[in-house]
Structure 1
Amino acid sequence: MNHTFDAVAFTEIIGQLEGYANSPQAKEKIRDLKPYLDEGELKRNMRDTTQARQMLDLLGTPPLPVMEQVGRIVEKAVLGELLLPEEMEEVGMFLAAVRRMQAYLERGKMHHIPAAFYSDDLSPLTELKEEIERSVRHGRVDDHASGALWGIRKEIRGLEEKIKDKAESLLKNNKKYMSEAFVVTRNHRLCLPVKKEYKSRVPGSVIDSSSTGATVFIEPETVARLQDQREILLVEEDCEERKILYSLMDMIASQEPSIKGNLETLAKLDFIFAKGKLSAQMEAREPAINTEGRICLKDARHPLLPSESNVPLQFEIGGEKRGMIITGPNTGGKTVAIKTVGLFTLMAGCGLHLPCAYGDVAMRNLVLCDIGDGQDLADNLSTFSAHITNVMDILRRATRDSLVILDELGSGTDPAEGMGIAIAILEELRLRGCLYLVTTHYPEVKSYARKHGEIISARMAFDRENLRPLYRLEMGKSGDSCALYIAKRLGMPGHMLKVAAGEAYGDIKESLKQELGLEQKEEEGIKRIYEPGITVMKKRTESTDVSGIFSRGDSVSVEPAGEPGIVVKPADLKGNVLVQVKREKRLVNYKRLKLRVKADRLYPEDYDFSIIFDSVENRKARHAMERKFQAGREVKVEEY
Structure 2
Amino acid sequence: MNSMTYEKLQYFELKERVKDHCVSGLGKALLDQLQPSSLLNVVKIRLNETTEARNLLNAENHIPLKGISNVGNLIEKLEKGMILEPAELVAIADFLRGCRNIKKFMEDKEFFAPTLHTYALSMTEFRSIEEEIQFVIKGNMVVSEASKDLKRIRNQIGKTESKIEERLNKFLKSGANKEFIQEFFISKKDDRFTIPIKASYKNQVDGTIVEVSSKGATVFMEPAAVTKLNVELASLKTEESMEVYQLLATLSGTIYEQLKPIKVNIELISQYDMIFAKAKFSKSMDAIEPKINNHGYIRLKGCRHPLLPQNSVPLDFELGKDYRSLIITGPNAGGKTVVLKTIGILTLAIMSGFHIAGEEGTELAVFDHVFVDIGDNQSMENALSTFSSHMKNISEIMSASSNNTLLLFDEIGSGTEPNEGAALAIAILEEFYKMGCLTVATTHYGEIKRHSERHSDFINAAMQFNNETLEPMYKLLIGESGDSNALYIARKMNVSEKVLLKARRYIDNKDYDMDRVEAHKIKKTKIISTTKEDVYEFEVGDKVKVTELNGDAIVYKKRDAFNNIIVLFEDTFIEIHANRIELKLKASDLYPEGYDLDSLFVSYEERKLQHDLERGSKKALKKIASDIRKELKE
Normalised to the residue count of structure 1, the TM-score between the two structures is 0.74
Q: Per the alignment, in what secondary structure is the counterpart of residue 357 of structure 2?
A: coil
1:16 maps to amino acid? R
Q: Which residue of 2 aligns with 1:42?
A: 43
* Aligned equivalents of 1:331, 1:196: Cα separation in 2: 83
Q: Deviations over 1:566-599 (max 9, x none)?
A: xxxxxxxxxxxxxxxxxxxxxxxxxxxxxxxxxx
Percent sequence identity is: 36
Deviation at 1:381, TM superposition (A): 1.7
- 1:397 aligns with 400
Q: Which residue of 1 aligns with 2:568?
A: none
- How has the CA–CA distance of structure 1 residues 112 and 80 changed in structure 2, closer, same or farther, with 3 Å as cutoff? closer
Contact in 2 for aligned 1:292/1:319 (Cα 8 Å): no
Q: Is the 8 A contact 2:23 2:68 kept in 1?
A: yes
Partner of 2:356: 354
What is the distance in 1 between the residues matched to 2:95 and 2:352? 30
Partner of 1:231: 234
Partner SS, residue 531 of structure 1:
helix
Q: Which amino acid aligns with 1:45?
A: R
2:372 maps to 1:342:
no
Residue 459 of structure 1: how far off its partner (Å): 0.3
The aligned residue for residue 434 of structure 1 is 437
5 Å-filtered alignment, 1:202-281, equals 204-205=207-208, 207=210, 217-281=220-284
The one of 424, 429, 437 aligned to 2:427: 424
Could you tell me which residue of structure 2 aligns to residue 188 of structure 1?
191
Q: How many residues align?
A: 518
Cα separation, partners in 2 of 1:6 and 1:140, compared to 1, 3 Å: same
Is the Cα contact below 8 Å between 1:35 and 1:365 reproduced in 2?
A: no
Report the equivalent of 2:166: 165
Deviation at 1:411, TM superposition (A): 1.1
Offset of residue 107 of structure 1: 5.9
List aligned pairs for 1:331-480, cutoff 5 A: 331-358=333-360, 359-480=362-483
Distance between the aligned counterparts of 1:389 and 1:213, measured in 2?
Answer: 75
- Is the Cα contact below 8 Å between 2:373 and 2:408 reproduced in 1? yes
- Secondary structure of the residue aligned to 2:153 is helix
Name the stretch that deviates more: 290-299 or 217-226. Answer: 217-226
Match of residue 18 from structure 2: 17
Unmatched segments (≥5 aa) in structure 1 = 509-525, 539-640
1:458 is displaced (CA, Å) by: 0.7
Shift of 1:507: 11
Question: Which deviations, in whole Å up to 9, do the C-alpha atoms of 1:505-562 show, x marking residues without a partner?
Answer: 5799xxxxxxxxxxxxxxxxx99x9837976589xxxxxxxxxxxxxxxxxxxxxxxx
Which has the larger displacement, 179-188 or 427-436?
Answer: 179-188
> The residue matched to 2:476 in structure 1 has which SS?
strand
- The yes-or-no answer on 1:291 pairing with 2:301 is no
The Cα shift of 1:133 comes to 0.8
Partner amino acid for 1:287? Answer: P
- Distance change in 2, residues 1:221/1:427 (3 Å): closer
Match of 2:588 among 527, 531, 554: 531
Residues 490/61 of structure 1: CA separation in 2 closer, same or farther (3 Å cut): farther
Segment drifting more, 332-341 vs 219-228 = 219-228
Listed as ranges, the matches of 1:509-524 within 5 Å are none
> 1:52 maps to which residue?
53
Deviates more, 1:440-449 or 1:14-23: 14-23
Aligned equivalent of 2:97: 96
Partner Cα separation in structure 1 for residue 158 and residue 376 of structure 2: 77
CA contact (8 A) 1:67 1:263 kept: no
Q: What is the root-mean-square deviation in Å for CA atoms of aligned residues?
A: 3.0
Any conservation in 1 of the 2:193–2:222 contact (CA below 8 Å)? yes
Aligned AA (1:30): L
The answer to which of 12-21 and 362-371 deviates more is 12-21
Q: How much does 1:302 deviate?
A: 1.1
In 2, are the aligned partners of 1:464 and 1:486 still within 8 Å (CA)? Answer: no
Q: Which secondary structure state, in structure 2, belongs to the residue aligned with residue 376 of structure 1?
A: coil
Separation in 2, partners of 1:389, 1:373: 12
Q: 2:321 aligns with which of 290, 300, 319?
A: 319
Q: CA deviation at 1:64?
A: 4.9
Q: Secondary structure at the match of 2:82?
A: coil
Cα drift, residue 304 of structure 1: 1.8
The residue type equivalent to 1:179 in the other structure is Q
Identify the residue that residue 517 of structure 2 maps to in structure 1.
none
Cα deviation code 1:262-305 (max 9, x no counterpart): 11211222222232233233332111111232100111111222
3-state DSSP class of the match of 1:307?
coil
The aligned amino acid for 1:136 is I
Q: Structure 1: how far apart are the matches of 2:508 and 2:72?
A: 73
Conserved 8 A contact 1:56-1:62: no
CA distance in 2, matches of 1:488, 1:111: 62
Q: So what's the TM-score if we normalise by structure 2? A: 0.75
Q: 1:77 matched to which residue of 2?
A: 78
Aligned AA (2:51): T
1:101 Cα deviation after fit:
2.6
**1:72/1:426 CA distance change after superposition, 3 Å:** closer
Q: Which residue of 1 aligns with 2:542?
A: none
Residue 531 of structure 1 aligns to which amino acid in structure 2? S
Unaligned runs of 5+ in 2: 512-555, 558-585, 596-634
Q: Deviations over 1:436-489 (max 9, x none)?
A: 111112222222112222222110000111111111001111111211111222
